Amino acid sequence: MADIRLEGVGHSYDGGRTWAVKPMTWTWRGSRAYALLGPSGCGKTTLLNIISGLIIPTVGRVFFDDRDVTGVPTAGRNIAQVFQFPVLYEEMSVYDNLAFPLRNRKYPAKEVDQRVRQVARLLSLEEHLGRRSRRLDAGRQQIVSLGRGLVRSQVAAVLLDEPLTVVDPALKWTLRSKLKEIHRDTGHTLVYVTHDQTEALTFADEVVVVNDGAIVQAGEPAELFLSPAHEFVGHFIGSPGMNMLPAEIVAGVVRIGPSEVGLAAADGVHAGRSDVEAADGLPAGPVRIGVRPEFVVIGGPRRSPGVAATVTGTDRMGAYDLVHTLVGEHPVLVKTEAGALHEPGSAAFLHFPAERTFLFRDQVRCGSLAPLDGRSTA
Amino acid sequence: MTEVGEEPRADLKRRNNRAWWLVLPVVVSVAFTAVIPLMTVVNFSVQDVFTPSDRIFVGLEWFRSITRDPEVRSAFVRTLLFSAQVLLLEIPLGVALAVCMPRRGVWVSVALVLVALPLLIPWNVVGTIWQIFARGDIGLGGWAVNHVPGVDFNYTLDSTDAWITVLVMDVWHWTPLVALLAYAGLRSIPEPYFQAAQIDAASAWATFRHIQLPRLRGVLTIAILLRFMDSFMIYTEPFVVTGGGPGNATSFLSILLSKIAVGQFDLGPAGAFSLLYFLFVQILCYVFFTVLTRSGR
């Protein structure tokens, strides 16, 4: 239940030419459930393997609390790791699988038995202990591989690398709640790697979004959804992802072409910029507007602030409709309630609500939209 | 109910069976390469052939005499013993070699080529190489054994020495095959298995015993079958090295068979011999295969 601290940790598979994980400093706090979310190949698994010691990072140091474990081999780290597919000692029984890590560490037979039964009870595997592990279904096999990690005392962290990939969708829910339950009961630090945002958002206390070898944002699920700090987070989280539109800041006003959509309000804090820059508002120049389809208002009164658009089609999704529009030549999706009538080819008017609309420069958030009338009253 | 049940059957009847013609090439080629020659042997095995036109039907007479022939019996035991020793040496050695071979990097190709080298040499050349190599006077191997540890070694006179020479030659020639098969099997094990073993603090031996070995079952089944069949039918190499001698020390079944068939031209007994030989290899392969695949379930 230790804090796991990465200090300047980075890894390169080709001697420093490209970074699979860019040097980063980050702490996984004890007893929390983290989801490591990102697209395939973004460095999630590498990051996980650095924690478990399967990979020694090219640069930086890894600490479990105050103990420097950078050079400590995997076996010495007390990590439980579950892989994408069940990794079992297939010719062994479930019992022997669970006992294997303990026997390797020369635990006395009595304690082995006691611990195995304890973990079997925790994971509801008691009635399967005598079975050959390869005969279990994939979901149970994953549970057994998890059990092999949990059976040891003082597990520093449980690392799960897309553990539900091979599991039937119907069973995924059951297993995920099982995992949550285990987390609640044991209080282990949990890092759950996934590229499935639903999995991440429903599972974790804190979601860490990784892209291109770097952590782009970390926070509670709602925070990532409502307040993305990076264009990638906007795209990646939410279904469909955030709309992105090129715009321009002219004298503190955000414009798309000739239309004014709101005031530019800087927030240097989220973007990690200095407050000096933030204090004076945003400098003029091109900017990208990000707004989620959920928050775009379509069909309001045709007056500023707002922008004219052309409807190109509607997807009926059942519970809601997805209206496709074009602003200039840039697509903007709008989520509306089911049954709304927006004829393809018809003109529409879009409002971007302040607070929910953000401004990005170089993919990083630099500000948000403020109500335009705020200026006129001032 | 019955109507519903019969409908698919009616559907099946409507289909034409012309696709069976596509099997014809296989049937024809198998007939010419296997069935017809085998039937010729069956034909010989139940007749006493003097000349092609002068022959009498003798029933199972040849089978009876072959199974009672002490020379055949001792050759059978000798061959079985040889195969057993070949398997006991080559399978563990091959697996050990495969485990030691590098998993990645430039040395992979180097190791593969070096290991595969003996496999590329024709059988009779292998025989010739060892015939010379093991000689005490001009052969490097034979000379070294005679002079370095000072053991008296002469495969042309001593039957144990001859046996060892043939056995070592076979191990040298065919362990690479087992090694390559095992290496392919090892390479197919996904990395997380080894990572899990590290996490579980498994020793190198435990990793081998519980991860690598179980996953080699498939390739080792093939390796055992191939090496059994091949060693049980070994002919060329001992023929070149020892010619079956000294005495009968290395006259395996195949050498005895060719002596009967080609040397003495006793086609009847040779036919019966061949059929029994063939049958035994088939049965033992079946047993091996069944046992090895069953034990995995």
For chain B, residues classed under CATH 1.10.3720.10 are 62-294
Average pLDDT over residues B246-258: 84
Tell me whether B214 touches chain A (CB under 8 Å). Answer: yes
To the question of domain B62-294 being in CATH 3.40.50.300, the answer is: no
Mean pLDDT of B246-254: 84
Q: Which residues pair with A82 in a beta bridge?
A: A160
> What single string gives the DSSP state of each residue in chain B?
-HHHHHHHHHHHHHS--GGGGGGHHHHHHHIIIIIHHHHHHHHHHTEEEEETTEEEE-TTHHHHHHHH-HHHHHHHHHHHHHHHHHHHHHHHHHHHHHHHS-SSSTHHHHHHHHHHGGGGS-HHHHHHHHHHHT-TTT-HHHHHHHHSS-----TTT-HHHHHHHHHHHHHHHHHHHHHHHHHHHHHTS-HHHHHHHHHTT--HHHHIIIIIHHHTHHHHHHHHHHHHHHHHT--HHHHHHTTT-STTTT--HHHHHHIIIIIS--HHHHHHHHHHHHHHHHHHHHHHHHHHHHTT-
Please name the fold of domain A240-377. OB fold (Dihydrolipoamide Acetyltransferase, E2P) (2.40.50)
B residues 162-191 closer than 8 Å to A (CB): 190
The ipTM, to two decimals, is 0.74
What SS3 state is found at A334?
Answer: strand
- Asked whether residue B26 carries a pLDDT value surpassing 60, the answer given is yes
Q: Which residues of B touch A54 (CB under 8 A)?
A: 195, 198-199
More confident residue, A174 or A23: A23
Q: At B28, is the pLDDT very low, low, confident or very high (cuts 50, 70, 90)?
A: very high
More confident residue, B53 or B82: B82
Closest CA to A22 of A219, A161, A212: A212
Q: How confident is the model at residue B8 (pLDDT cuts 50, 70, 90)?
A: low
User: What percentage of chain A has pLDDT greater than the value 90?
Assistant: 8
Instruction: Spell out the residues 6+ positions from residue B169 whose beta carbon is closer than 8 angstroms to its own.
Output: B126, B127, B130, B134, B237, B241
Range with the poorest average pLDDT among A281-285, A312-316, B6-10, B207-211? B6-10
Taking 70 as the threshold, does the pLDDT of residue B4 lie above it? Answer: no
Query: What is the distance in angstroms between the Cα of B221 and the nearest Cα belonging to chain A?
Result: 17
Q: Give B-chain residues touching A91 at CB under 8 angstroms.
A: 210, 214, 296
Could you tell me the CA-to-CA distances from A254 to A78, A125, A247 in Å, in that order?
Answer: 53, 59, 7
B199, A81: Cβ pair inside 8 Å? Answer: yes
The residue that leads in pLDDT, A377 or A304, is: A304
Q: Taking a contact as any Cβ pair under 8 Å apart, which residues of chain B between 84 and 143 contact chain A?
A: none
Please state which CATH number belongs to domain A4-231.
Answer: 3.40.50.300
Query: Would you state the pLDDT for residue A377?
Result: 37
Q: In this complex, which of B196, B203, B214 lies closest to A87 when CB atoms are compared? A: B196
Q: Which residues of chain B are within 8 Å of residue A84 when distances are taken between CB atoms? A: 192
Inform me whether the C-beta atom of residue B8 falls under 8 Å from chain A C-beta atoms. no
| pLDDT tens, position by position, B60-101 | 888 888 888 888 888 899 999 999 999 999 999 999 999 999
CB-based contact A192:A81 (threshold 8 Å): no
For A104, which of B192, B201, B211 is closest by C-beta distance? B201
Mean predicted lDDT score pLDDT of chain A: 84
Quickly state the pLDDT bin for B181 (edges 50, 70, 90): very high
Query: Over the stretch B220-229, which tens digit does the pLDDT of each residue have?
Result: 988 999 999 9
Taking CB atoms and an 8 Å cutoff, what residues of chain A touch B203? Answer: 104
Q: Looking at chain A, which residue has its C-alpha nearest residue B213?
A: A91
Please state the domain extents for chain A: 4-231, 240-377
Instruction: For Cα atoms A210, A214, A219, give the angle at the middle one, nearest 5 degrees.
Output: 50
Q: Sort out which chain A residues have CB atoms less than 8 A from B195's CB and list them.
A: 49, 52, 54, 74, 81, 83, 87
Chain B environment of A75 (Cβ under 8 Å): 198-201
Q: Is B200 on the interface with A (CB under 8 A)?
A: yes
pLDDT of A340:
77
Query: Does the pLDDT value for residue B175 go beyond 90?
Result: yes
pLDDT on residue A373:
65
Other CB atoms within a 10 A radius of the CB of residue A18 amount to: 10
At residue B3, the pLDDT reads: 46
3 state SS for A66-132: CEECCCCCHHHCCEEEECCCCCCCCCCEHHHHHHHHHHHCCCCHHHHHHHHHHHHHHCCCHHHCCCE
| Residue A272, pLDDT score | 43
- pLDDT for A266 equals 81
Q: Do A84 and B192 touch (CB under 8 A)?
A: yes
Q: What is the per-residue pLDDT across A305-364, written as a single tens digit (0 to 9) for each?
A: 888 888 998 888 888 889 999 888 889 999 988 887 888 888 888 888 888 889 898 888
Q: Percentage of chain B surpassing pLDDT 70?
A: 95
> Which residues in chain B are closer than 8 Å to A148, comparing Cβ atoms?
196, 200
Record: contact B199-A52, CB cut-off 8 A: yes
The overall average pLDDT reported for chain B is 86
Confidence of residue A238 (pLDDT cuts 50, 70, 90): confident
